[in-house]
Amino acid sequence: MDPEVLILRVLDDADEPMGSGRIVEELKRRFGKEYSTRSIRYHLQRMEERGLIERIRRNDRVIGAVITDKGRYVLKVRTSRERVGMYISVIEEMAYLCDFDPFEAEGKVVCNVSIVKKDDLDDFLTAVEETYKAGVGPSPFVAIEEGEEVNGIKLEQDEVAVLTVCTVTVDGVLLNQGVPVNPLCGGLLHFEDGEPLGMVEYIEYSGSTVDPLHVFVARGMTDVEGYIETGTGRIPTNVRYVPWAARSDVKKVKEALEKADIRAIVDVPAVEGEVVGIPIPPKSFGVVAYGGLVPVALLEERGISVKTYPTKTLYEYSEMEDVRRL
């Protein structure tokens, strides 16, 4: 196993800061792994730079290291065995790998990959633009790729791959800002006259092996067209929760994302213990985001078939193209 994972496990079980010497002893005792103190110091430095641990100093002297909330999150992702095959493990891994900085509008975002007929490409791009202008599509930025294979997906000669921003990017940005994130579910948020009233259908990630939004889109349960025309409809959204104390951090992230042309986070009432009618743990704050599959849902409603692979890959945001300028 990766030595950094073992170090995180040791620190997670510790009730006080641990120095490199004690960590070396614990790694040998618990896992039978032998490392030099110098090697452990190197790993601790790298882990501190990534925010996984914090080295505690007293009188300008390092007395030991402790695991951070981000470190615990990464440990959960890297050691989950019981959830292998569950979609939540995909979300958590991609959120961890996402390094997008909305304040600088640079870095890799998480992307869905949609395969469309070349003849339908213009319709797809139109759907991306329409949903973004209507305020329910996360981003107008896409990447168009051709070839025999894209991201491990084989393409026919008459097909093209379109990468769109997946809102797991929101989880990644929050995580990188030091906010612990708990992905909860994907569902259909009902809007009436432009106002979100509540989730009418949802599936929890912890019990699903596939993206719940993909299920709702495939079953024709969305009504994005209705929302665009009248303000009333069912929009694919996903829900996660963060500590109630992180509300101001979420607001800053939302504003930064919007400046970077990622209007993903939905304005919903901030109520402790629930969000859009879904219960969440006490002292938690629910964060709802429009699903990256919203444009796909609109196309399916219009009778245009799309093969979509949700939360499939990472892509440099600065290299994506704005559909409004294509």
pTM of the model: 0.75
Residues 272, 231, single domain; the answer is yes
Instruction: Return the structure tokens found at 264.
Output: 């993903």
Q: Evaluate whether 240 touches 181 at the Cβ level (below 8 Å).
A: yes
User: What's the one-letter identity of residue 13?
Assistant: D
57 and 152 co-located in one domain:
no
Here the CATH number for the domain that contains residue 13 is 1.10.10.10
Residues 152, 293 within the same domain = yes
CA of 198: how far to CAs of 132, 233, 242, 287, 301, in Å? 21, 11, 19, 13, 22
Do 106 and 250 sit in the same domain of this protein? yes
- Domain boundaries, position 231: 92-325
Residue where one domain finishes, among candidates 46, 79, 112: 79
- Domain contains 85: no
Same domain, 149 and 211: yes
User: In this structure, what DSSP letter does residue 60 have?
Assistant: T
Angstrom CA distances, 40 to 3, 28, 29, 30, 253, stand at 9, 12, 15, 16, 34
Instruction: Please check whether residues 51 and 99 belong to one and the same domain.
Output: no
Beta strand segments in the chain, E: 53-58, 61-67, 108-117, 141-145, 149-150, 153-154, 159-165, 182-192, 195-204, 233-243, 274-275, 278-279, 284-290, 307-316, 321-322
86 falls within a domain: no
User: Residue 252 falls within a domain, yes or no?
Assistant: yes
Question: Looking at the structure, do residues 108 and 56 belong to the same domain, yes or no?
Answer: no
Give yes or no: residues 34 and 131 share one domain: no
What is the C-alpha to C-alpha distance for residues 80 and 227, in angstroms, rounded to an integer? 39
Structural domains in the chain (count): 2
- Are 118 and 17 within one domain? no
The set of residues, in sequence order, having a beta carbon less than 8 Å from that of 33 and lying 6+ positions away, is 3, 6, 27
Same domain, 112 and 65: no
Is residue 15 located within the same domain as residue 137? no
Q: Within a domain: residue 246?
A: yes
- Domain closes at, from 47, 79, 111: 79
User: Which residues lie across from 306 on neighbouring strands?
Assistant: none
Report if residue 300 sits inside a domain.
yes
CA angle 184, 96, 100 (to 5 degrees): 105
Q: What CATH code is carried by the domain that includes residue 161?
A: 3.30.70.1360
Query: Among 23, 46, 79, which residue terminates a domain?
Result: 79
| pLDDT tens digits in sequence order for the chain, 326 residues long | 678 889 999 999 888 999 999 999 999 888 888 899 999 999 999 899 989 999 998 888 889 999 999 998 888 777 654 444 578 888 998 999 999 999 999 999 999 999 999 999 999 999 999 999 999 999 999 999 999 989 889 999 999 999 999 999 999 999 999 999 999 999 999 999 999 999 999 999 987 888 999 999 999 999 999 999 999 999 999 999 999 999 999 999 999 999 999 999 999 988 888 999 999 999 999 999 999 999 999 999 999 999 999 999 999 999 999 999 98
Check: CB of residue 173 under 8 Å from CB of residue 259.
Answer: no
Region of residue 6 (phi > 0: left; psi between -120 and 50: alpha; otherwise: beta): alpha
For CA atoms 24, 27, 28, 30, give the dihedral sign: positive
32 plus 178 within the same structural domain:
no
Burial class (CB in 10 A: 0-12, 13-18, 19+), 81: exposed
Residue 84 resides in a domain: no
